[in-house]
Chain A
Amino acid sequence: MSALQSTRSAMRRDRVFGFLQPEPDFQLPVDTSHGTILYVDDVSVRFDGFLALNRLNLSIDEGELRCIIGPNGAGKTTMMDVITGNTRPDEGRVFFGQNLDLLELEEVQIARGGIGRKFQKPTVFEALSVFDNLELSMASAKGTWKTLFHRLSPAQRSRIDEVLEIVGLQEQVQRMAGALSHGQKQWLEIGMLLMQNPRVLLVDEPVAGMTGDETERTAELLVSLAGGHTVIVVEHDMAFVRSIARRVTVLHQGSVLAEGSMDQIQKDPQVIEVYLGEEA
């Protein structure tokens, strides 16, 4: 890392009060001085000849709330896999900020470095309490010996309380995560991502299977998180997307079909054709 880069990352404008935050874990010095936090450049992924991503280009600004929609098989999940290091693309590059090539990093490094991912199916540690779930997800030393002798500090405890409040699970703190309702599990998982102090939240179908009330609360939650974090939501539920989205990207057959505000998207003839018969 060059001296210039490290100086820049130490003097970042958006983190002037960074030292006040509990244990930030941004080990990767991300340079977002041009406003872009994630840049997917001409990425292609092939599975047995099937083109899951076809020269996908995508640019996400820092603090943005971006919705990504598209029919089944459009490559939404594959795109997330590529960003989080789960799948290596055949061609193309992916940048975190201007300076970090995500393709050179391992999953764990990407996760620790500030990209959190929520799975499509709510995935929490079911045999552990809500508190433990959040504690384990916290940005802190994650080596084997460190965790063996670890003790929770008061600052860490208050960070957990803070996140419990954000996702509204204060009452459930001692319950087993496996005993939570479907919606509560989704919120817990979002809370777990927040514990990682991520720059980017990748959220895969957050309202699938939720009741109307729960969907509404989730929408509020995600909107409130944008700004402080960059939030990327992949979703099928058009009503939900309309309620939160400022900017929408439509994927189709592994590449971007259209991009713009919800109104623009809905008038786009290509999008209408792809979604023929669907609500959009």
Chain B
Amino acid sequence: MLTQRLFLSDWGGLTVLVLLLALMVAVPIANLVVPPDSPWHLSTYWVALLGKFLTFALLALSIDLIWGYAGILSLGHGAFFGLGGYAMGMHLTRQIGDRGVYGNPELPDFMVFLSYESLPWYWWGFDMFWFAMLMVVLVPGLLALVFGWLAFRSRVTGVYFAIITQALVFALMLAFFRNEMGFGGNNGLTDFKEILGFSVQARETRVGLFVISALAVILAYLAARFIVTSRFGRVLVAVRDAENRARFAGYRVEHYKLWLFVFSAMLAGIAGALYVPQVGIINPGEFSPLRSIEAVLWVAVGGRGSLFGAIIGAFAVNGAKTWFTTAYPEVWLFALGALFVLVTVFLPRGLVGLFRRRTREDQP
């Protein structure tokens, strides 16, 4: 019953899920089992790169959920991604212990450098893994709750909402750039050693993080499918297309938006937390407004409002970016611009629209 609901008439989603599962099996084998001199061997660089793409896919998924289904355009989802990343980064920083440059067992290197006397209160608890994981979802969720409550209650929608989310992420960036904030300022948090006792550099750890990221994307996709195929999901579409009608039908529109916004922020937080150990650094650059806009563009390229399109978009744009920035670094920005113009003009439904058009015409 439930499986039928989740997968019925969702061939694209099913295909993406199968591909993700295949990657989950193939990548570890190709990296760990296949000998390095074989042409089938996958280098650890690629494992980390694909793992990073997976976390971007998760971020894109969280954006598509609110933008595609509830019509809430957030140009500041990097805020939640970054906060989740910082929560993870703080835990990894605490795990360094006395192996830092200064060898101080109590304080991270940057705090010693800035002559902190003791650990600030908001760092307490982050040496415990479970606490840090809790903060990965709670901090973005709480920010989304307060921010969303204020915005949706005042019926801020559309472009105005998008603009204030930009302001939010920009404010966070400025704040995290400051050394006095106690999050490592400009340099952010880096030089991680271990996660749960496994070396962050070891390729087994990399593969493990990749598998967990793939699993996270799959679970998040299923959860999102569950939401959008429920009556809740149809209420969201109703709110997106005719907010007043929904309100006069007796729905508290604000509650629906807020619920989904908080859920989406939590997904973004998890994405950030998985991103940090795989790239080995978190700094205020993640809060750059441009990064948040870029993430929205992944969704637009993939195809808004189809969930799996967001995953495809994240892989397509980031794959292109990786290829261009190594092959023709000076061309990348132009290629990105051209991609968006082409998609907007020729594929308003995104890459997913390429496959969808045919099936749509079959229907009456």
Q: Which residues of A approach B to under 8 Å, CB–CB?
A: 25, 84, 107-108, 111-112, 116-117, 119, 123-128, 132, 135-137, 139, 142-144, 147-150, 175, 189, 192, 196
B232 at the interface (CB under 8 A from A): yes
Give min CB distance, A258 to chain B, whole Å: 30
B237 at the interface (CB under 8 A from A): yes
Contact partners of B106 in chain A: CB under 8 A = none
Query: Max chain B CB contacts within 10 Å: which of A125, A128, A132?
Result: A125
Identify 7 residue pairs between A and B in the complex whose beta-carbon atoms are under 8 Å apart, listed by A's number: A108-B251, A125-B242, A127-B240, A128-B238, A135-B234, A136-B246, A196-B249
Cα of A149 to Cα of B231 in the assembled complex, Å: 8
Q: Are A136 and B234 in contact (CB under 8 A)?
A: yes
Q: Are A124 and B245 in contact (CB under 8 A)?
A: yes
Q: Are A125 and B245 in contact (CB under 8 A)?
A: yes
Q: Are A147 and B230 in contact (CB under 8 A)?
A: yes
B218 at the interface (CB under 8 A from A): no
Q: Residues 348-364 of chain B: 1 if any A CB is under 8 Å from the residue's CB, otherwise 0? A: 00000000000000001
Contact partners of A139 in chain B: CB under 8 A = 250
Known contacts A117-B248, A123-B244: A128-B234 contact under CB 8 Å: yes
B252 at the interface (CB under 8 A from A): yes
Known contacts A127-B241, A144-B256: A116-B248 contact under CB 8 Å: yes
Cα of A126 to Cα of B238 in the assembled complex, Å: 8
B259 at the interface (CB under 8 A from A): yes
Contact partners of B230 in chain A: CB under 8 A = 147-150
Q: Are B247 and A111 in contact (CB under 8 A)?
A: yes
Q: Are A142 and B241 in contact (CB under 8 A)?
A: no
Q: Are A142 and B250 in contact (CB under 8 A)?
A: yes
Q: Residues 313-355 of chain B: 1 if any A CB is under 8 Å from the residue's CB, otherwise 0? A: 0000000000000000000000000000000000000000000
Cα of A175 to Cα of B363 in the assembled complex, Å: 10
Q: Are A136 and B242 in contact (CB under 8 A)?
A: no
Q: Which of B231, B241, B252 makes the CB contact (< 8 A) with A125?
A: B241
Q: How large is the interface on B (under 10, 10 to 19, 20 to 34, 35 or more residues)?
A: 20 to 34
B235 at the interface (CB under 8 A from A): yes
Nearest to B230 among chain A residues (CB) is: A148
Cα of A119 to Cα of B237 in the assembled complex, Å: 19
Q: Are B245 and A119 in contact (CB under 8 A)?
A: yes
Known contacts A128-B238, A150-B230: A111-B249 contact under CB 8 Å: yes
Cα of A137 to Cα of B238 in the assembled complex, Å: 10
Q: Which of A111, A135, A144 makes the CB contact (< 8 A) with B250?
A: A111
Known contacts A112-B250, A136-B238: A147-B231 contact under CB 8 Å: yes
Q: Are B232 and A125 in contact (CB under 8 A)?
A: no
Q: Are B227 and A148 in contact (CB under 8 A)?
A: yes
Give min CB distance, A63 to chain B, whole Å: 22
Q: Which of A111, A127, A132, A175 makes the CB contact (< 8 A) with B248?
A: A111
B255 at the interface (CB under 8 A from A): yes
Known contacts A125-B241, A150-B231: A136-B259 contact under CB 8 Å: no
Cα of A84 to Cα of B248 in the assembled complex, Å: 8
Contact partners of A189 in chain B: CB under 8 A = 245
Give min CB distance, B68 to chain A, whole Å: 11
Cα of A125 to Cα of B71 in the assembled complex, Å: 14
Cα of A137 to Cα of B251 in the assembled complex, Å: 9
Cα of A239 to Cα of B76 in the assembled complex, Å: 54
Q: Are B252 and A136 in contact (CB under 8 A)?
A: no
Q: Which of A126, A143, A148, A192 makes the CB contact (< 8 A) with B249?
A: A192
Q: Which 3 pairs between the two chains have the least Cβ-Cβ distance?
A: A112-B250, A148-B232, A147-B232
Cα of A192 to Cα of B247 in the assembled complex, Å: 13
Nearest to A175 among chain B residues (CB) is: B364
Q: Residues 217-229 of chain B: 1 if any A CB is under 8 Å from the residue's CB, otherwise 0? A: 0000000000100
Contact partners of A112 in chain B: CB under 8 A = 250
Contact partners of B244 in chain A: CB under 8 A = 119, 123
Contact partners of A123 in chain B: CB under 8 A = 242, 244-245
Query: Max chain A CB contacts within 10 Å: which of B232, B249, B252?
Result: B249
Nearest to B259 among chain A residues (CB) is: A144
Cα of A175 to Cα of B255 in the assembled complex, Å: 29
Contact partners of A124 in chain B: CB under 8 A = 242, 245
Cα of A127 to Cα of B71 in the assembled complex, Å: 13
Contact partners of A127 in chain B: CB under 8 A = 237, 240-241
Give min CB distance, B249 to chain A, whole Å: 5
Nearest to A178 among chain B residues (CB) is: B241
Q: Are A128 and B237 in contact (CB under 8 A)?
A: yes
Contact partners of B249 in chain A: CB under 8 A = 111, 136-137, 192, 196
Cα of A117 to Cα of B247 in the assembled complex, Å: 11
Cα of A135 to Cα of B249 in the assembled complex, Å: 11
Assuming A108-B251, A192-B249, what are 14 further A-B pairs, CB within 8 angstroms?
A112-B250, A123-B245, A125-B238, A127-B237, A128-B238, A132-B234, A135-B231, A135-B234, A136-B246, A144-B232, A147-B231, A148-B232, A189-B245, A196-B249
Cα of A123 to Cα of B235 in the assembled complex, Å: 15
Give min CB distance, B144 to chain A, whole Å: 15
Cα of A202 to Cα of B53 in the assembled complex, Å: 52
Q: Are A143 and B255 in contact (CB under 8 A)?
A: yes
Contact partners of B255 in chain A: CB under 8 A = 143-144
Give min CB distance, A130 to chain B, whole Å: 13
Contact partners of A137 in chain B: CB under 8 A = 249
Q: Are A107 and B237 in contact (CB under 8 A)?
A: no
Nearest to A137 among chain B residues (CB) is: B249
Nearest to A109 among chain B residues (CB) is: B250
Cα of A112 to Cα of B235 in the assembled complex, Å: 15
Cα of A101 to Cα of B212 in the assembled complex, Å: 56
Contact partners of A119 in chain B: CB under 8 A = 244-245
Cα of A175 to Cα of B230 in the assembled complex, Å: 19
Nearest to A174 among chain B residues (CB) is: B364
Cα of A119 to Cα of B249 in the assembled complex, Å: 12
Cα of A107 to Cα of B245 in the assembled complex, Å: 11
Contact partners of A25 in chain B: CB under 8 A = 250
